[in-house]
Amino acid sequence: MNNMNQNNGMQKRMLIMTLVVFVFFIAYEYLVLKPQQEAKAALVKQEQEQKQNNVAPDVKTVVTDANGNAANAFNSADTLSSKSIGNVQTVSTIKTAKSIIEIDTLGRIAQVTLVEEKYKDENGNQIKLFEANQLRPLEVRFADVNINEEAFKVSLVVNSSNIDATTSAQELVLTQTLNGTVLTKKLTFYPDGHYDLKVSTTNEKEFFITNGFRPNVLADMYAVHGFISKLNDNTLKTIEDGKLDKNHDIVGAKFISSFDRYYTTVIYNFEKSLSVSVMPDPNGKENPQAFIHGGNNITFSGFIGPKNHKDLSALNPELIDVIDYGWFTFIAKPMFLLLQFIQGYVGNWGWTIVILTVLIKLVLFPLSFKGMVSMQKLKDLAPKMKEIQAKYKDDKQKQSMHMMELYKKHGANPMGGCLPLILQIPVFFAIYRVLLNAIELKGAPWMFWVHDLAEMDPYFVLPILMGATMFLQQKITPNTMQDEMQKKIFQFLPVIFTFFFLWFPAGLTLYWFINNLFTIGQQYYINSVFERKRAEKN
């Protein structure tokens, strides 16, 4: 097949792939996510109506290897059976400068409410991170089955029912007296919302402790949510929700985190690494839930709240790896740092996105320029290409030879328009991931109608402008497609993109809109250059 046919074939495959991806998004949203959400809501309602009491999960005895290290804490995912805790009482409330933390009768963190003004839900209420039927942070499971069953029936005793840690660190001690052991939790809470914890038992009784199931504020198909850990060799292990079909042991973890798009419950120890067992939840959804091997005593720190870059970095620079940018992390991380640097001078995240977009377009302009020039040359050669195709329609070898001569004579490259685009894809996906996961945009306004760049545009102004500029961009961009059906499909893409961007965060839509505007400006410039050259020739 000649190069021209190869080019058309590649364009066709790219178009088909794009349409398939977006059709999949629609189908997944309405056929998978929506039914899952409805089923989950029904399950929560059923559990609340039944008012089930806590039942001790069946935790098996630890198996150790030759070195005495825990080899596998549990025999099956059934050991993670966690019942509704909606009827468990709060025994202590801790107020920090950024959150309200509630401790229940079993010594677990039952709820975390974010108190900063910008963290509000669609109803104007302060965001709460957990639902009633979730596995809670700091829940303890004993290796001894009998003690474990008793532990879920005996309430812990606290030394204070109300603690004010808004301005200084405060300590909370929880004690649970059981037949055969005494469990003690010593918690120190800090104004920034993080805590230090030491857990110990008497009589050498071994236990496991969890960071809980992830916050469930925003878990959609657009961003990764699930479990991530950082190992001693600085590699990251990510397990997405719905993708864990069997137990998985992690040895030598610096931190573990369960997260949705914007929020995390993380446990970390950078001096003594953690040994962790991760296993599917008991509801058959294959969502990861993690338990740390505590031995008979363990010390670590934790944080439950927004994945704010500055806050995580202040606790420990390595904790910024809690923010998952996916495959293009190596580009996304410096991209966010640049975004944050610009915002430090500009003071507004919306205009920061505009400036960053302009900078990216300027840096990538040489690549864009080459691609646009190549497309213009192919457009100008389209009539001659048709003549060659018609003249040598029965001799593909001669057709290909004359096409190559034509390209060489006029300095055209059939792949010249595609290659620059492909090289820009990592940058696009990196900024996409940055803006999609940036909790910093929460509550950040831009212009008079956008009050929260992390939420959808309430009046759909930006999505419509994005679609309109995408349509205009298509109109002024040379089109070398010969097939009329391909042209019609391509022309329909702005409508598809507009539809999807109706629900995208306004910050991300703003980026795409500004990107389109500058692409249009670049294309106008290239078009004018070619028009002058044509006029000079005539």
Among 75-89, 301-315, 405-419, 456-470, the minimum mean pLDDT is found in: 75-89
The contacts found for 403-409 with CB under 8 angstroms, 24 or more apart, are: 403/2, 403/3, 403/4, 404/3, 406/381, 407/3, 407/381
Residue 361 is predicted with a pLDDT of 87
Backbone angles phi, psi at 518, to 5 degrees: -75, -30
Rounded-to-integer distance, Cα 520 and Cα 36, Å:
41
For helices 506-537 and 349-363, give the axis angle rounded to 10 degrees.
30
Residue 114 is predicted with a pLDDT of 97
pLDDT category, 129, cuts 50, 70, 90? very high
What Cα–Cα distance (Å) separates residue 483 from each residue in 228, 392, 400, 472? 46, 19, 19, 21
Q: What is the mean pLDDT of residues 307-321?
A: 96
Among 39-43, 69-73, 101-105, 425-429, the minimum mean pLDDT is found in: 69-73
Which region, left, alpha or beta, applies to residue 385 given φ > 0 means left and ψ of -120 to 50 means alpha?
Answer: alpha
Share of the chain above pLDDT 90, in %: 51
H/E run at residue 515 = helix 506-537
Residue 458 is predicted with a pLDDT of 93
Residue 186, classed as helix, strand or coil, is: strand
Among 422-431, 454-463, 494-503, the minimum mean pLDDT is found in: 422-431
Strand order in the sheet with 109-114: 109-114, 99-104, 90-96, 162-165
Rounded-to-integer distance, Cα 43 and Cα 108, Å:
22
Residue 253 is predicted with a pLDDT of 97
| pLDDT tens-digit map of 232-274 | 999 999 999 999 988 999 999 999 999 999 999 999 999 999 9
Which region, left, alpha or beta, applies to residue 460 given φ > 0 means left and ψ of -120 to 50 means alpha?
Answer: left
| pLDDT tens-digit map of 172-219 | 999 999 999 999 999 999 999 999 999 999 999 999 999 999 998 987
pLDDT category, 357, cuts 50, 70, 90? very high
**pLDDT: which is higher, 474 or 373:** 474
| pLDDT tens-digit map of 397-414 | 888 887 888 777 777 766
Residue 271, classed as helix, strand or coil, is: coil
Residue 62 is predicted with a pLDDT of 44
Residue 71 is predicted with a pLDDT of 38
Residue 51 is predicted with a pLDDT of 35
Pick from 361, 378, 355, 405: which is nearest to 510 by CA? 355
pLDDT category, 44, cuts 50, 70, 90? very low
Residue 222 is predicted with a pLDDT of 74
User: Is pLDDT of 465 > 90?
Assistant: yes
Residue 64 is predicted with a pLDDT of 39
Cβ-based neighbours of 426, under 8 Å, separated by 6 or more: 328, 331
Among 89-93, 234-238, 384-388, 445-449, the minimum mean pLDDT is found in: 384-388
CB 445 within 8 A of CB 451: yes
Q: What is the mean pLDDT of residues 356-378?
A: 81
Residue 262 is predicted with a pLDDT of 94
Residue 185 is predicted with a pLDDT of 98
Average pLDDT, the chain: 82
Pick from 367, 377, 384: which is nearest to 419 by CA? 367
Rounded-to-integer distance, Cα 496 and Cα 230, Å:
38
Residue 128 is predicted with a pLDDT of 95
Q: What is the mean pLDDT of residues 84-107?
A: 87
Residue 384 is predicted with a pLDDT of 80
Domains by residue range for the chain, with CATH: 87-324 (2.70.98.90), 332-537 (no CATH)
For 354-383, letters b (16+ CB in 10 Å) and e give bbbbeebbeebeebbebbbbbbbbbbbbbe
